[in-house]
Amino acid sequence: MENNEILNQFIQILMPVLATFITGVFTYIGNKIKNAYQKKINDETAKTVVKDVVRFVEQVYGDIHGKEKLQKAIEQVSIILQEKGIKITETEIMMLIESAVYELNEGLNPKDVKDLINETKTEIQALNEAVNELKTPTEIVELIDENNNKETENNVG
């Protein structure tokens, strides 16, 4: 029975230590997950703020260019992110601004706009023809596909 008593005492001593250790591990893991999630949210918020500020600066400060415009964007982004409690370096802000400007410029690519206009014209033409001929919905879809194929052939050739 002496062995059982020693084992019981050992378990009584070990259980609180083990419980404390497990609690510490779960707290550590929980904090890591929380911090990673908060960083992800802060990064997404910063990107959104920068994109909005870039559009704002392009709209409001259209008469200034280059470094002046960049400085206005940096100032605005810094103010907004500071109000939101998001810490970010000026280098990171500049990098995000340049990325947002690039995306904005790519979004306004004249070739893409021209292609979209041509596609829209083709679809409008097909719809007008369908309405004039009172086509069924299936026939309308086939007519649009046919016109798109013609447009594709014209662009290739």
64-75: pLDDT as tens digits:
888 899 899 999
Angle at 106 between CA 44 and CA 145, to 5 degrees: 105
The answer for residues whose C-beta is within 8 angstroms of residue 18's C-beta and 6 or more apart is none
Which pLDDT tens digit goes with each residue over 94-121?
999 988 988 887 765 666 667 777 788 8
Coil, strand, or helix at residue 63?
Answer: coil
Largest CA distance in the chain: 102
**In the block, which residue shows the tokens 């605005």?**
76
Task: Give the mean model confidence (pLDDT) for residues 8-31.
Answer: 87
Q: Tokens 């910063």, residue?
A: 46
Single out the residue of 126, 53, 127 nearest to residue 84, CA to CA.
Answer: 53
**Which residue type is seen at 143?**
L
DSSP characters over 108-157? T-HHHHHHHHHHHHHHHHHHHHHHHHT--HHHHHHHHHHHHHHHHHHHH-
Share of the chain above pLDDT 70, in %: 86
User: Which pLDDT score, from 0 to 100, does residue 76 have?
Assistant: 92
Q: Name the band, by pLDDT with cuts 50, 70 and 90, for residue 123.
A: confident
Beta carbons within 8 Å of 135's beta carbon, 6+ residues apart: 129, 143
